Structure 1
Amino acid sequence: MSASLDRTDLALLAELQRACRQTNAELAERVHLSPSACLRRVQRLEREGVITGYHAELDPERLGLGLQAFVRVQLKSHDAEHIARFAELVNGWPEIVACHALTGDMDYLLQALVRDLEHFSRFLLDRLLAQAGVADVNTSFVLRTVKPGRGVPLPAGMSGGQGA
């Protein structure tokens, strides 16, 4: 269910996606609200689950994770037990930063961040193929990122320039 958002809510969300480490006073000034009104709106957006958290963006290469891969996975079995086991394993693997269930010929798309090809090879052979009930994998390595995934698109014209 989508929340009912006005222009001010959308401006707040756009500004928080741009820079979440600003003070409430700075945020209020940027969206033309009093600090108390701004805080009330942000708290409501958090309470309603529109804002689900705040985080720091980290540079994987600076952390020694220089290789990124997208791995399409097909499971051997699609019963509830195997699907739950796969989800449990994926959630326990730090190399996997995102996992999406798919339609089509593959069941899941994993996004992996690893040190290098050797690290990926060990992950693939020792964990993904050996433990997870996987029938087939297809891997693509990222050569460069053209547009990083940052933020959620907000309705055009209501959020200070971000649009769908």
Structure 2
Amino acid sequence: MAEQVLDTLDVALLEALREHPRAGLQEIARIVGVARATATARLQRMERTGVVTGFGPDVDVTAAGFGVQAFVTLEIAQGALEEVHRELAALPGILEAHATTGRGDVLCRVAASSHEALQQILVQLNHSASVVRSTSVVALSCVVPWRTLPLLRSEAAPGSGRSPSYR
């Protein structure tokens, strides 16, 4: 997908959606101070270009019973990334995995209901013929949760001739 440059109005719409997730589009447009058609067109463009990937609820995995989390670095066999991708996707406890540079090849974020359940996930990972070595670091607490708005705000292009009244 082509890189999308967001302007201050786009960011204001995203911020309003984040702060008022149950509001309808008419209400979001009112909060931001634009016409509903403008808000609709902007949000549809951000969906079409992949900037907005969903409107589902955010889930706190700790509150849902998966309070043990870890980051696992995998060193994998040469050329085994596709196989590792399939294996990781089949493990429900893998929240996300990223191919990386440096000593490890893949960094995984893992969640489990207990230390024993985490150990089972680690054993499953180490049984993979594609995994040469793994290193685990248990997360004690979340210092900065997943967020995007500060980054988007910091790099937003000036609005398209319109100064949103939001914020």
Report the AA paired with residue 89 of structure 2.
Answer: N
* Structure 1, unaligned runs of 5 or more: none
Q: Which residue matches 2:68? A: 67
Structure with larger RCO (C-alpha < 8 A, sep 6+): 2
The CA deviation string for residues 91-136 of structure 1, in whole angstroms up to 9 with x for no partner, is: 11110001011101111110000011110111111x1011252111
Deviation of 1:22 after TM superposition, in Å, equals: 1.6
* Structure 2, unaligned runs of 5 or more: 157-163
The CA deviation string for residues 20-71 of structure 1, in whole angstroms up to 9 with x for no partner, is: 3321122101211122221122112212222121221222223221100000
Deviation of 1:16 after TM superposition, in Å, equals: 2.4
Q: Which residue matches 2:45? A: 44
Q: Give the counterpart of 1:154 among 152, 155, 160.
A: 152
Q: Is 1:21–2:13 an aligned residue pair?
A: no
- What root-mean-square deviation, in Å, do the aligned CA atoms of Structure 1 and Structure 2 show? 2.1
* Seq. identity, %: 29
Q: Is 1:105–2:100 an aligned residue pair?
A: no
Equivalent runs, 1:81-160 vs 2, <5 Å: 82-125=80-123, 127-152=124-149, 153-156=151-154, 158=156
Alpha-carbon distance between aligned partners in 2 of 1:86 and 1:106, rounded to the nearest angstrom: 13
Q: Which residue matches 1:78? A: 78
Report the AA paired with residue 102 of structure 2.
Answer: G
Alpha-carbon distance between aligned partners in 2 of 1:132 and 1:98, rounded to the nearest angstrom: 20
Aligned residues: 157
Question: Does the Cα contact within 8 Å between 2:8 and 2:153 map onto a contact in 1?
Answer: no
Report the AA paired with residue 43 of structure 2.
Answer: V
Report the AA paired with residue 78 of structure 2.
Answer: H
The CA deviation string for residues 69-91 of structure 1, in whole angstroms up to 9 with x for no partner, is: 0001101x212xx2211001111
Which piece of structure 1 moves more, 143-152 or 12-21?
Answer: 12-21
Call closer, same or farther: CA 1:84–1:56 in 2, change over 3 Å: same
Alpha-carbon distance between aligned partners in 2 of 1:110 and 1:157, rounded to the nearest angstrom: 28
Question: Does the Cα contact within 8 Å between 2:69 and 2:112 map onto a contact in 1?
Answer: yes
Alpha-carbon distance between aligned partners in 2 of 1:93 and 1:132, rounded to the nearest angstrom: 15
Deviation of 1:146 after TM superposition, in Å, equals: 1.1
- Give the structure-2-normalised TM-score: 0.84
Q: After the TM superposition, list the runs of 4 or more consecutive aligned residues in structure 1 that deviate by more than 4 angstroms.
A: 157-161
- Give the structure-1-normalised TM-score: 0.85
